Amino acid sequence: MRKDRGVFSYLVEHFFRRFFDNDTVSAEGDTQTSVVRAISIVAVPGLMFAFWLQNQYPWRGLWGSIEDQYFYVMFSVVVMGMVAIFEWEMLFPDRLDFLILSPMSIKPRQMPGGALMFVRQSAHRRPCRSLP
Protein backbone atom coordinates (compact mmCIF):
# COMPACT_ATOMS: atom_id res chain seq x y z
CA MET A 1 0.00 0.00 0.00
CA ARG A 2 1.28 3.48 -0.90
CA LYS A 3 1.73 6.24 1.60
CA ASP A 4 -0.72 9.12 1.33
CA ARG A 5 0.96 12.11 -0.28
CA GLY A 6 -0.13 15.56 -1.37
CA VAL A 7 -2.18 16.09 -4.52
CA PHE A 8 0.66 18.09 -6.09
CA SER A 9 3.10 15.23 -5.63
CA TYR A 10 0.66 12.89 -7.43
CA LEU A 11 0.32 15.42 -10.23
CA VAL A 12 4.10 15.54 -10.74
CA GLU A 13 4.20 11.73 -10.75
CA HIS A 14 1.33 11.67 -13.24
CA PHE A 15 3.17 13.99 -15.66
CA PHE A 16 6.30 11.85 -15.29
CA ARG A 17 4.38 8.69 -16.22
CA ARG A 18 2.60 10.41 -19.07
CA PHE A 19 5.94 11.57 -20.49
CA PHE A 20 7.20 8.01 -20.84
CA ASP A 21 3.89 6.24 -21.48
CA ASN A 22 2.96 7.62 -24.85
CA ASP A 23 2.97 6.34 -28.42
CA THR A 24 6.38 7.89 -29.24
CA VAL A 25 8.30 6.35 -26.36
CA SER A 26 6.29 3.31 -25.36
CA ALA A 27 3.75 1.15 -27.12
CA GLU A 28 3.14 -1.15 -24.15
CA GLY A 29 2.51 1.50 -21.52
CA ASP A 30 4.92 0.04 -18.93
CA THR A 31 6.56 3.05 -17.28
CA GLN A 32 9.61 1.43 -15.74
CA THR A 33 10.52 -0.48 -18.91
CA SER A 34 10.05 2.70 -20.95
CA VAL A 35 12.25 4.74 -18.62
CA VAL A 36 15.04 2.14 -18.66
CA ARG A 37 14.78 1.81 -22.45
CA ALA A 38 14.83 5.57 -23.04
CA ILE A 39 17.78 6.11 -20.69
CA SER A 40 19.65 3.20 -22.33
CA ILE A 41 19.14 4.62 -25.83
CA VAL A 42 20.43 8.01 -24.68
CA ALA A 43 23.30 6.72 -22.54
CA VAL A 44 24.76 3.91 -24.69
CA PRO A 45 26.47 6.08 -27.38
CA GLY A 46 28.14 8.18 -24.66
CA LEU A 47 29.30 5.10 -22.77
CA MET A 48 30.63 3.46 -25.94
CA PHE A 49 32.56 6.59 -26.84
CA ALA A 50 34.02 6.72 -23.30
CA PHE A 51 34.97 3.02 -23.56
CA TRP A 52 36.69 3.66 -26.91
CA LEU A 53 38.63 6.59 -25.39
CA GLN A 54 39.79 4.85 -22.21
CA ASN A 55 43.07 3.60 -23.73
CA GLN A 56 43.92 7.09 -24.95
CA TYR A 57 43.98 8.68 -21.50
CA PRO A 58 46.00 10.05 -19.69
CA TRP A 59 48.28 10.41 -22.73
CA ARG A 60 45.73 12.19 -24.90
CA GLY A 61 46.80 15.71 -25.84
CA LEU A 62 45.12 18.96 -24.79
CA TRP A 63 43.26 19.48 -28.09
CA GLY A 64 42.17 15.85 -28.11
CA SER A 65 40.63 16.13 -24.65
CA ILE A 66 38.94 19.42 -25.65
CA GLU A 67 37.50 17.60 -28.70
CA ASP A 68 36.13 14.91 -26.42
CA GLN A 69 34.54 17.45 -24.13
CA TYR A 70 32.94 19.20 -27.11
CA PHE A 71 31.65 15.83 -28.33
CA TYR A 72 29.77 15.31 -25.06
CA VAL A 73 28.37 18.86 -25.14
CA MET A 74 27.24 18.31 -28.75
CA PHE A 75 25.78 14.90 -27.88
CA SER A 76 23.78 16.43 -25.01
CA VAL A 77 22.47 19.14 -27.34
CA VAL A 78 21.46 16.53 -29.96
CA VAL A 79 19.63 14.48 -27.31
CA MET A 80 17.85 17.59 -26.03
CA GLY A 81 16.92 18.45 -29.62
CA MET A 82 15.43 15.00 -30.14
CA VAL A 83 13.48 15.29 -26.90
CA ALA A 84 12.24 18.71 -28.01
CA ILE A 85 11.11 17.37 -31.41
CA PHE A 86 9.42 14.18 -30.27
CA GLU A 87 8.31 14.94 -26.71
CA TRP A 88 7.90 18.70 -26.45
CA GLU A 89 4.13 18.66 -26.16
CA MET A 90 4.32 15.93 -23.50
CA LEU A 91 6.21 18.31 -21.21
CA PHE A 92 3.15 20.49 -20.74
CA PRO A 93 -0.52 19.92 -19.94
CA ASP A 94 -2.56 19.37 -23.10
CA ARG A 95 -6.29 19.34 -23.99
CA LEU A 96 -6.74 15.83 -22.54
CA ASP A 97 -5.22 16.93 -19.23
CA PHE A 98 -7.58 19.90 -19.05
CA LEU A 99 -10.59 17.72 -19.89
CA ILE A 100 -9.72 15.09 -17.29
CA LEU A 101 -8.04 17.08 -14.55
CA SER A 102 -10.05 20.32 -14.56
CA PRO A 103 -13.11 18.88 -12.77
CA MET A 104 -10.82 17.54 -9.98
CA SER A 105 -10.22 19.35 -6.68
CA ILE A 106 -7.00 20.86 -8.01
CA LYS A 107 -6.09 24.49 -7.51
CA PRO A 108 -5.88 26.39 -10.83
CA ARG A 109 -2.09 26.76 -10.69
CA GLN A 110 -1.39 23.18 -9.61
CA MET A 111 -1.78 21.62 -13.07
CA PRO A 112 0.76 23.76 -14.95
CA GLY A 113 2.82 23.82 -11.73
CA GLY A 114 2.93 20.01 -11.64
CA ALA A 115 4.13 19.86 -15.25
CA LEU A 116 6.79 22.53 -14.61
CA MET A 117 7.96 20.70 -11.49
CA PHE A 118 8.33 17.52 -13.55
CA VAL A 119 10.43 19.41 -16.14
CA ARG A 120 12.53 20.94 -13.39
CA GLN A 121 13.09 17.62 -11.65
CA SER A 122 13.95 15.97 -14.98
CA ALA A 123 16.52 18.69 -15.67
CA HIS A 124 18.10 17.99 -12.27
CA ARG A 125 18.02 14.24 -13.00
CA ARG A 126 15.70 13.56 -10.06
CA PRO A 127 12.64 12.33 -11.94
CA CYS A 128 10.48 11.44 -8.97
CA ARG A 129 10.70 10.22 -5.42
CA SER A 130 9.31 6.86 -6.40
CA LEU A 131 8.58 5.30 -9.73
CA PRO A 132 4.98 4.21 -10.19
Partner 1 sequence: MSLTPGEVLGYLGPNGSGKSTTVKMVIGLIKPTKGHVLFNGKKIYDDLPGYRGQLGYVPEEAQVYTHLSGLEYLQLIGRLRGMEERLIEAKARELLKLLSLEAAQYSALSDYSKGMKQRVLIAAALLHDPKLIVLDEPLSGLDAVSARLFKDLLILLAKEGKAILYISHVLEVVERVCDRVIVLSKGNVVADAAPRDLTKLMELPTLESVFAQLVQQTDTERVARDVVGVMQVRHA
* Binding-site ranges for partner 1 (CB under 8 A): 1-5, 7, 10-11, 14, 17-18, 21-22, 26, 29, 96, 99-108
The distance of closest approach from Cβ of residue 5 to partner 1 in the complex, given in angstroms and rounded to an integer, is: 8
| Cα–Cα distance, 27 to 12 (Å, whole number) | 22
Looking at beta carbons only, is 9 or 122 nearer to partner 1?
Answer: 9
- CB 17, min distance to partner 1, A: 7
What residues contact 87, with CB distance under 8 A and at least 6 apart?
19, 22, 24, 25
> What dihedral do alpha carbons 6, 7, 12, 16 form, nearest 10°?
110
**Smaller CB distance to partner 1: residue 10 or 71?**
10
Residue (69 or 102) nearer to partner 1, CB: 102
15 touches 116 (CB < 8 A): no
C-alpha pair distances (Å), 113 with each of 12, 83, 105: 8, 20, 15
The residue (of 25 and 42) whose beta carbon lies closer to partner 1 is 25
